[in-house]
Structure 1
């Protein structure tokens, strides 16, 4: 069966293309490495899709970059990976198959070892080759990547409905560090052993040394106690180092997995939640991790030793031991009884904290508007009210926890008093020595400590349950998934079809698009017009598969986007929105965001095409200037030109311009218009614009009204007949006449102005 899978994979590797830039036999190293990863995944019945190609955009070529790319690509496909370095002989002894790299960074799949030969599959070859290890050693870089499908992926494959987020998600991550955790527990074991020796030593000093005035014994005991203290310090330090090192690695892995899942979620998830709420839920990961890798990890070992201490205490005095045992239900009961109330308080605190986080994020993003409206004082009062509610909730939850701790601490002090009184009577009656009483009290403290710790841990466990519940709302959300057509990696040609498409953003919300149908040939330029709310932006979003329609189909090259791999689609679609987001990176990094491997010359070329080159050169560090969060250091028009250059940088087959020039002045817009033919060349282009004169070059114009396609045709055809397009065009032309710099107002244009609602087209 494995042989059949390997043979099928070989055909797949030689015949399938990877991306729009990949040629079958002369493909670049990244493209061929993508095939190798896809083949390796296919051997384990995993569809690679197109999203793994992104890894080479991030890490580039070369052996080191290729190894990182392969590792991340396999992790993206839910493999547990490890990068190895060694000889061919060592490679042959590992569990095969693996992905090996030659000296140029080109990947091959090593299927199995047969004597002194290796079965190797290269991208582009029809079948695997049987190669001598010595021959392969001459081209082998010494680096290979192994991967096995994660337990989560296997369980999800067997029963997708059973895979819910919970404590098992954390334990699975911790299980990878079993060796390190075992070392921590071993160090804890010896620390407890040394702790047991101290009370016994004190008893010897009091009962033997003081009674018999034996200075030699005293010196021996003091040296022993000093040695125990030193060893305990060394072991505790080593334990803390191992613990911190391991928890940091766990933090990185858990954080990376959470962020990766977040990036795979559909837009509908983010539209139904505000950003502050999502950020607050993500931060709960730290609370959950702190519990599992904090005191909870060693608490069970401490509890085990508490049983040992109780046995030793029973040897000293059964009566005193029973008194200690009688207090244990008080410690546990106080925490257990208050748990439901505390959980409710913590949930209220979290909800208010998430609201405050969202309010703060919204405030920082709208600071210019708040200052422009001079509402700082009233906005501050709103914040103070929200903050007061949160502080009150935090006080109530903290107060509840503090009262529980006070009850436990008071019971602990009462236990000490009772032990001292009853113990003293035992000494007076001759049933216990003075040294024995002191040793018993020290051992009692060692028993009480883990019991008290467990009591506080129950409160932390309550907090963790709340954290896990909040995180589950993210982790249990279904990511974007490709189904039947998801493994297709052929380059897009650009034919687009809307087949009776109807769409709503929410189940009970208004219909944004209603029964829209049209067909666009590859390479056509399509204008989309309509007043604000007509459905132009929604149409663009459906073309990106950010959403899928409730009825009807959106097809690209005959492929229903509902079943297409979103990475395959979006990597070949360029988008420029009116409010396109830029990042706190350099101008060059923003332009090359989707294609980080672009050379400086290539970045400069697309910037020139977008009319951005001139103003970028005037920035303090030119293309190396950091443009601020959301491009705040640039004007609106400059941000738009950077966004256009970014969309062109990936050489998309489909280009979506959604009010892309709305923020540009006439001079800058003219630069874009002059280059528009070159920008659109060889692409299918959709242009939504409020200045309809810019759409004269469109092959066809779609007119939307209330979510319906009411007109369709060329500009000259639509302008010659009465209809919605002609009225919009006349309004647009009149508005442009008013907007252009002029010594006097065009009175006729002013008379031609329609209602204000028609300006947003």
Structure 2
């Protein structure tokens, strides 16, 4: 935390998650904590000499063997000492000079490096083939071993044909059993070496593929989760999942077919000169056949590309229909629309089948044209070689034919594989474009560690704010201006589409393309770090998603460093304690996806407890009690005064009866702020509010009243 303060950042200890089974914080866990706060961080194991090169850019955290830590603040190269500060010592106390021997007694090399921010290139590289290649090239050590193994196998491949040639031309002619046994021994030894090298090569390819796959998945999820909410609201989940899944196809191509072909080309570079040494005529025939195969495949690339694009589009729509059906299965079952969804699915499957049939028919032509050329490459060279061996004026011998037959297949395979690689690239290129369509979208406008991180009090002001959703012409908010003092409970009312939820969306930073000014405690919201902003809020929606896990894990999901006692406190405040304690396993009760073992009211109260666990200064309840039964709603409303103590609350509700105790109520109509005041005040002077109240309370004649906070200022738009 001291190292973070050096860069002007504040780490929250409640966000720290201790690794499972760890008796004390590890370097990796501390690094992950710093990264979650938006810092650049790495956990490393260094030697003494490395400490002189890492100082100068800021403090370095040294983790000692006894579980304590120190800050490396500087070094003196001439005297071979480093300066270490005890974080528990007074700030005025100077750092302690330490030499190698003293440090080695308490330190085994674990450090945590911190920086204020990562560069844009390192943090958010675009998803391109060039970036993928750079990820693979990070495994240089393994790739070097791979090349060495491939070259060794290539040279070992040359010797068996040579030995076979000698067997045919020498052993069989002279009936030399001793030479035959020698050749057999050499071949057996070579087979053992080739087997071991092949095993090592496949193992290295597996290591490179696994490590690359892990890095790729981490990068993909990091970008996906930082896409703006607006993207997920406008694109079906099934479509997004299908597009992102194409990343695996690209990865398999790079670490599979592409890497294998490149390694085979290394073999080709070794074997091709040897083929020309055996017989130049036959070698040219092999090259000519491989070139013809490549030209045929290249000729079909453009039409295949056009049809494959239609296959991709049809597959995307099919998976979007599947995802929509799965995510909306409750509605499908309740409305009995299974036949309609099946008809839609049949239509999408038929469309995919149609274009895959067209693609298959077109792809069948190059395969048909290539087959006779491939056969001639293998069998024709044997016949021509036999003719050359029979010619009286040619020195080509029978043993050389056998050697050429053995090597020609090893040479032709990489050439044909290269042509096939070009053909497969069209499909991989399409998969790459699909994944990039999602992953290369602009991320939420927020630097990884930039922006202000103020300690919120809770004063909020909207100054002439105008916002229009993409694809619409009418503004959702039209020059809205109002201010809310810290600690105020503000109700938001209005007819559907009046802009109530938009007010809260802008406050959470979900949409930032607005005009005017939105300030929290005087700081412009667009200048505040987005993650810090949202982690300082508590938000409860009308429909809340609970994660698979226990009730305790769901309540503590926002603050993994907190304890069961904190979860109980939040549940009690939200009115959820009474039903949790009736559960068979209490707070350890398991919640499945969709939380079928909980009622709507129970889910809502758990969501409120989850929002309160962070002790937010600003709490947003967006129709949070609309799904509750009257008893649960009365329980939550009774707790609202305790919940609101010391924090600013925005409560969106269609039920005006639940807002009568709010300090202030903002009335919205068609995106405009019409009036703001207490319940009693609005009944007297606001016709819209009075109409809404009378519609919901026809049987009531008495007006409710509530305590009003210091009157917020309202600036009407022109």
Distance 1:328 1:735 in 2: 89
Tell me, yes or no, if the aligned pair for 2:155 and 2:270 is still in contact at 8 Å.
Answer: no
Match of 1:650?
Answer: 614
Is 1:144 equivalent to 2:111 in the alignment?
yes
Match of 1:572 in 2: 536
Q: Could you tell me whether the CA contact under 8 Å between 2:136 and 2:208 is conserved in 1?
A: no
Q: Decide whether aligned partners of structure 1 residues 398 and 79 sit closer, same or farther in structure 2, where only a CA change above 3 A counts.
A: farther
Correspondence 1:154-233 to 2 at 5 A: 155=121, 164-233=126-195
The aligned counterpart of 2:584 is 620
Q: Which residue of 1 aligns with 2:3?
A: 36
Asked if the contact 1:704–1:710 (Cα under 8 Å) also holds between the matched residues in 2, the reply is: yes
Matches within 5 A, 1:182-331: 182-331=144-293
> What CA distance in whole angstroms lies between the structure 2 residues aligned with 1:485 and 1:499?
27
- Give 5+ residue unaligned stretches, structure 1: 1-31, 43-47, 738-761
Identify which of 501, 505, 514 aligns with 1:550: 514
Q: Which of residues 83, 92, 99 in structure 1 aligns to 2:51? A: 92
Q: Is the 2:166–2:399 Cα contact (8 Å) retained in structure 1?
A: yes
| 1:137, distance to aligned residue in structure 2 (A) | 5.4
CA contact (8 A) 2:465 2:479 kept: yes
The corresponding residue for 1:131 is 97
Pairing partner for 1:383 from 337, 345, 367: 345
Cα distance change, pair 645–76 in 1 and its aligned pair in 2 (3 A)? closer
Whether the aligned pair in 1 keeps the contact of 2:4 and 2:114 (CA below 8 Å) is no
- The 3 A distance-change label for structure 1 pair 344 and 486 is same
Which of 24, 29, 36 is matched with 1:68 structurally?
29
- Using the size of structure 2 for normalisation, the TM-score is 0.89
User: Which deviates more, 516-525 or 422-431?
Assistant: 422-431
| Matched position secondary structure for 2:548 | coil
Distance 2:427 2:216 in 1: 18
Superposed CA RMSD in Å reads 3.0
Q: Deviations over 1:295-325 (max 9, x none)?
A: 3124234224323322212222222122222
Matched residues in 1 for 2:445 and 2:282: separation?
64
Query: Superposed, which structure 2 residues align to 1:44-83 within 5 Å?
Result: 56-57=16-17, 63-65=24-26, 67-71=28-32, 73-74=34-35, 79=40, 81-83=42-44
| Matched ranges for 1:649-688 at <5 A | 649-688=613-652
Asked whether the equivalents of residues 100 and 110 of structure 1 are also in contact (C-alpha less than 8 Å), the reply is: no
Where 2:649 maps in the other structure, the secondary structure is strand
Which stretch of structure 1 is more off in the superposition, 475-484 or 288-297? 475-484
Q: 1:485 to 1:426 in 2, by over 3 A?
A: closer
Query: Alpha-carbon deviation of 1:93?
Result: 5.8
- 1:601 maps to 565
Q: For residue 108 of structure 1, what is the aligned residue in structure 2? A: 71
**Cα offset, 1:680, TM superposition:** 0.6
Which deviations, in whole Å up to 9, do the C-alpha atoms of 1:64-110 show, x marking residues without a partner? 445323156359858583521x66x3653664464322444556344
Task: Report if the CA contact (8 A) 1:50-1:487 is conserved.
Answer: no
Instruction: Give SS of 2:590's match.
Output: coil
**1:535 is the counterpart of 2:502:** no
Does residue 1:690 correspond to 2:654, yes or no?
Answer: yes
SS in 2 for 1:514: strand
Between 1:131-140 and 1:335-344, the stretch displaced more is 131-140
SS of aligned partner of 1:704: strand
Residues 394-439 of structure 1: CA deviation (Å, up to 9, x unaligned): 3433444443334333311022232122111111114211110111
Counterpart of 2:712 in structure 1 is none
Instruction: Pick closer, same or farther for the CA change 1:534–1:402 going to 2, 3 Å.
Output: same
Determine the C-alpha separation between the residues in 2 that align with 1:268 and 1:53: 31
User: How far 1:639 sits from its partner (Å)?
Assistant: 0.9
Whole-angstrom CA distance in 2 between matches of 1:590 and 1:676: 21
The residue aligned with 1:433 is 397
Alignment CA distance shift 1:304-1:76 (3 Å): farther
Residues 55 and 69 in structure 1, CA contact (< 8 A), matched pair in contact too: no
Partner of 1:23: none
Give the Cα–Cα distance (whole angstroms) in 1 for the partners of residues 12 and 313 of structure 2: 37
In the TM superposition, residue 460 of structure 1 has moved relative to its aligned partner by: 2.4
Q: Which one has the bigger helix percentage? A: 1
The question of 1:704 aligning with 2:665 is answered no
Q: What residue number does 2:454 align with?
A: 490
Aligned 8 A contact 2:31 2:41 in 1:
no
Q: 1:54 to 1:455 in 2, by over 3 A?
A: farther
* CA deviation after TM superposition for structure 1 residue 487, in Å: 3.4
Task: Find the residue that maps to 2:575 and give its secondary structure.
Answer: coil
Report deviation, 1:241: 1.4
For normalisation by structure 1, the TM-score amounts to: 0.84
Distance 1:729 1:406, change over 3 A: same
Count of equivalent residues: 690
Q: Contact 1:207 / 1:435 at 8 angstroms: preserved in 2?
A: yes
1:478-503 per-position Cα deviation (integer Å, ceiling 9, x unaligned): 22234799432231111101111111
* Aligned counterpart, 1:359: 321
Quick one: distance in 1 between partners of 2:598 and 2:5?
Answer: 42
SS at match of 2:63: strand
Q: Is the 8 A contact 1:588 1:603 kept in 2?
A: yes
Q: Which residue of 2 aligns with 1:348?
A: 310
> Which runs of 5 or more residues in structure 2 are unaligned?
702-718
CA distance in 1, matches of 2:303, 2:112: 50
Distance 1:418 1:479, change over 3 A: same
Give the whole-Å Cα distance in 1 for the aligned partners of 2:556 and 2:247.
Answer: 32
> 2: distance between equivalents of 1:146 and 1:434?
68
The answer on whether the counterparts of 1:578 and 1:660 sit within 8 Å (CA) in structure 2 is yes
Deviates more, 1:648-657 or 1:410-419: 410-419
Q: 1:460, 1:735 → 2: CA distance?
A: 73
Offset at 1:567?
Answer: 0.9
Q: In the alignment, is the contact (CA less than 8 A) between 1:267 and 1:546 conserved in 2? A: yes
Q: Which of 461, 472, 479 in structure 2 is aligned with 1:515?
A: 479
The range that moved more, 490-499 or 89-98, is: 89-98
Distance 1:503 1:293, change over 3 A: same
